Amino acid sequence: MQPMSSQSQRLFHSNRRSMSYGNRRLRRHIYDAFLLGMLSFLLLGNGGLFAGEDIPKDHYQVAWDEVSEFLRQREYGSAAAKLDSLAKEQDLRNYGTQVEADRKAIHQLLVLERIVLEQAAQLEPGSSIEISGIEYTLVRYEKSTRSDALILKSKSLGRETKKSIVDLPAGTWVELAELDLVSLESPELTLGIFLTFDRIADRKAARKLFNEAAATGEDVSVWLTRLEAAEKQLAVAGKPGKGDDPIVGKWDGQIGPRGGVQATYHFQKKGTGMITVDPKVLATLKPSPGQTLQQFETAKRLFQLVRFSWDKKEDGTYRVTLKDGLGTFDGLILEGDQLQHPGDTRKFVRQVQR
């Protein structure tokens, strides 16, 4: 064999380098394609980590969401029936321990409801009861096939009002229940569950009760997990129900101090609102003693449109915050077609359709 010429050797080495580079590049393409394929599979493909349809679901959590909706409405008998029905399904046959624990919890909520009704019925006529910060005097307890009720007389307004037991604020239920806690097997746990899922929940108080239950030896891990899930859901969705809230609509009221200017409060969906004053009313206004003409005109312009925000608090009362630092109404109580501030003669009256 003839030895290679220097030119052939250079060409050989060049081709070898070229082939080596090409092979490395090809291997790199194959490696990148493999990684990309694996990434697509893991993230998006069938059974992938983020595949929307194939993420393993906790079947019991789906069932519990349905049951807890009845708890929110204080329909504990329906909640128990729903749980019994769902527990028979194939997907839930491996959750027997949790089903039994939840069945026991719902039974205790039924006991809580019975205690509340019994204690309300035992209140003496003339006794005082505070509901959402307003002091009432009990006139009588009224039994009904639909829902027993308390006939109350407001101490500040002097007028009677009817409040169904089932619609009393969660705080009032807790106060009535505390008169007979011995009837509950696990008072702190039961009250914590009630305040977690009630339609007017008080999850801060619920967490405190769960911690107290844990201190007595109760296993509250599942309930704390559910409490945290409810808190996260509320944080994501915002306070629900504002669009359907009974406060939404037009209300006759006042702006300014007592005896102030007649105005219309427009409570809008999503917690916003505005106050308008009829131009005819504005035309009749006159400067107050000591008020300069410039101050008076500024006030008139301000009264033409005032914006506010509103929210429903966990105790069932409302808070209205006027924009531009004009003040806040806190603790407003809705009773029928009237919105009243405790201890204040001012009130809002719902406008009839005109």
Q: How far is CA 34 from the centre of its chain?
A: 47
Give residue 181's identity as a one-letter amino acid code: L
- C-alpha atoms less than 13 angstroms from C-alpha of 11 in its C-beta half-sphere: 5
Lowest mean pLDDT among 23-32, 172-181, 263-272, 319-328: 23-32
Residue 86: predicted pLDDT: 87
Higher pLDDT, 20 or 184: 184
Domains annotated for the chain, with CATH where assigned, are 49-134+171-237 (no CATH), 249-350 (2.40.128)
Question: How long is the chain?
Answer: 354
Q: Sign of dihedral through CA atoms 170, 188, 115, 157? A: negative
pTM: 0.56
Lowest mean pLDDT among 26-30, 139-143, 202-206, 222-226: 26-30
Higher pLDDT, 239 or 83: 83
Question: Is the pLDDT score of 76 beyond 90?
Answer: yes
Per the CB < 8 A criterion, the answer to whether 189 and 211 are in contact is no
Q: Sign of dihedral through CA atoms 94, 98, 104, 105? A: negative
Question: Is the pLDDT score of 264 beyond 90?
Answer: no
111 CB-near residues (< 8 Å, 6+ apart): 183, 184, 190
Strands (E), 39-197: 128-131, 134-142, 149-154, 160-164
Higher pLDDT, 6 or 322: 322
Count of C-beta atoms within a 10 Å radius of residue 281: 12
Count of C-beta atoms within a 10 Å radius of residue 34: 10
Question: Is the pLDDT score of 352 beyond 90?
Answer: no
Please state at what angle helix 170-177 crosses helix 187-197, rounded to 10 degrees.
Answer: 170
Residue 181: predicted pLDDT: 93
Per the CB < 8 A criterion, the answer to whether 348 and 253 are in contact is yes
Split at pLDDT 50, 70, 90, the class of 326 is: low
DSSP for 31-46, please give it: HHHHHHHHHHHHHTST
Count of C-beta atoms within a 10 Å radius of residue 136: 21
Residue 222: predicted pLDDT: 94
Can you tell me the mean pLDDT for 107-116?
A: 96
